[in-house]
Amino acid sequence: MIAGNESCTAGPIPVSYLTCLSYILGQWTGVEHIEDYLSYVIYLLWVFLPLAVVILFPAGTVALFYISILVLHIYKRKNELREAYSHDFWDGGRQMLATLWDVHGRIWHGYELHGTENLPDGPGLIVFYHGATPADYVYFMARLLIEKKRYCHTVADHFVFRLPGFKILIEAHGFMHGPKEECVRALKNGSLLAIAPGGVREALFSDEMYTIIWGNRKGFAQVAIDAKVPIIPMFTQNVREGIRTLGGIKIFRSLYECVRLPVVPMYGTFPVKFRTFLGEPIPYDPNVTAEELTAKTKAALQALIEKHQKLPGNIFRALMERFQTQKKDD
């Protein structure tokens, strides 16, 4: 190896690293004119780099979910013969995942959480805008558990319960299908509960204008009324700039309505700035109907979007916000 390096650098004319590498590989493999092949490989890497960025990065987020599942399996196997904690077997596992996801959020998105003082000491229903993926919500859960030692139950779409390997993740984090009675029971037991009324449709078919897509859904409002708890609106700045979808193409919308699965292609996982904001709680009022409470909640969420999100969303601007300091009055 030393002799090869000396032959590359010898002489009055400097030799490029590519030429040096070509010489070494040529001597090793016996292939003539190997530098032509290397040049072609480098050209292909340059051409396909944008494609790799938009396809492989979203796959990285999925991989992180399955790493989380692997961590839980290891934790379960290690602790299946004894209690990890006195009251909840999964406490230790949730703490481990919270650390994993919080580190990821800090590094990749410079994640920040604002407005935790708006959370009630007791139960409450968190209503949030759904980005293309729930990565921002996972960061929120992790930061809430680490900083406030509070755990938040989650209402998830039905397809999540059919994802291969997700059973242990669902068990550890107490995800719910969302029957009204189950949600009310969790709130009456003193828990925080989070739901995105827009669900998969909002995730896939909203856009850089951050349009709230709830349709006629008002079940969450009835849950809050029945449980007599406040509603806390929540929004994450730049969540749609992190990952974009091709939901604007009509054929994907039609396909989704047929199969009810998230078949819309995504691209991105850009390292844009994420800031999650918790708005002022909407208190329980026995004289307010579900329709009225839905309208109040939607207006409160829209106000958070207008206050904290520059519209239309822009990926480059969101990247530059990594280097900006958040104003104190926000």
Q: Which residues have a catalytic role annotated?
A: 130
Strand order in the sheet with 112-114: 112-114, 275-278, 231-237, 124-128, 192-195, 152-155, 175-176
Element (H, E) at 175: strand 175-176
Q: What are phi and psi of 194, to 5 degrees?
A: -120, 145
Dihedral angle of Cα 268, 269, 274, 278, to the nearest 10 degrees: 90
Q: What are phi and psi of 150, to 5 degrees?
A: -120, 145
Distance CA 214, CA 210 (A): 12
Residue 259 — left, alpha, or beta (φ > 0 → left; ψ -120 to 50 → alpha)? alpha
CA-only gyration radius of the chain, Å? 25
